[in-house]
Amino acid sequence: MSKKEYLKRYLFFFLGLYILAFGIALSAKASLGTSPVASIPYVLSLTLPFTMGQLTIVIQSVYILIEILILRKNFRPFQLLQLGVVLLFGWFNDLSLTILSGVSPDHYAVQWFLCLLSTFIIGFGVSMEIRSGVLTLAVDGLVLTISKVLQAEFGKVKTIFDCCQVAIAVICSFVISHKLMGVREGTVAAAILVGMTIKLYNKKLNRFYERIGLVPVQK
């Protein structure tokens, strides 16, 4: 690819990364339990003296390590750039939470509206991130790796992986605080719907992506 093509793809990637972080922050503000991708750091942030963004950096770094263990010699050094992406993503998380600091819905219907809206925003962000074809967030890099190894559809693997993250968050909640915190009905809904919305965006926006020159990258 030309330098212009790389620049366009990286700009698209970082825009998608922020949209993803904003969607996660919105899901947290809905107060129905945050999105699965942030469920573990969110639960830990409720009891530990660290922000959700800081804990996100730690958890995402663990995902990179797991990806390395799976791929072994097939893990390309270039993929270590995911560490930089993780740091930026953690900062985007905390920035978005600051921007949305005034959002505090007290009506259950409004909470559900924000929760469902965040699901579509998160799905769009992930779709942009994956279509950019340059880098991926650590969690999506791990899901991509698993889907390739198992030869399974990304959206389906994403849904299963999200459910696993929710289960771990629940365990962490009971182990640390001896009660359920940070995981609610909105978390379960997002675990089921995010993978579906990614699949929907990939299908419906394919022509749009091609029109702006973002053809799939052959790897």
Whole-number Å distance between alpha carbons of 177 and 179: 5
Amino acid, single-letter form, for residue 189: A
Please determine, for residue 218, whether its predicted confidence score (pLDDT) is greater than 90: no
Amino acid 40: pLDDT: 93
Model's pTM, two decimal places?
0.86
Nearest to 26 by CA among 89, 100, 91: 100
pLDDT at 217: 57
Residue 79 has pLDDT above 80, yes or no: no
CA distances from 187 to 53, 124, 134, 164, 176 (A): 18, 18, 29, 12, 19
* Dihedral Cα 71, 76, 81, 83, nearest 10 deg: 30
Q: Sorting pLDDT into bands at 50, 70 and 90, what band is 159?
A: confident
> So what's the pLDDT on residue 216?
64
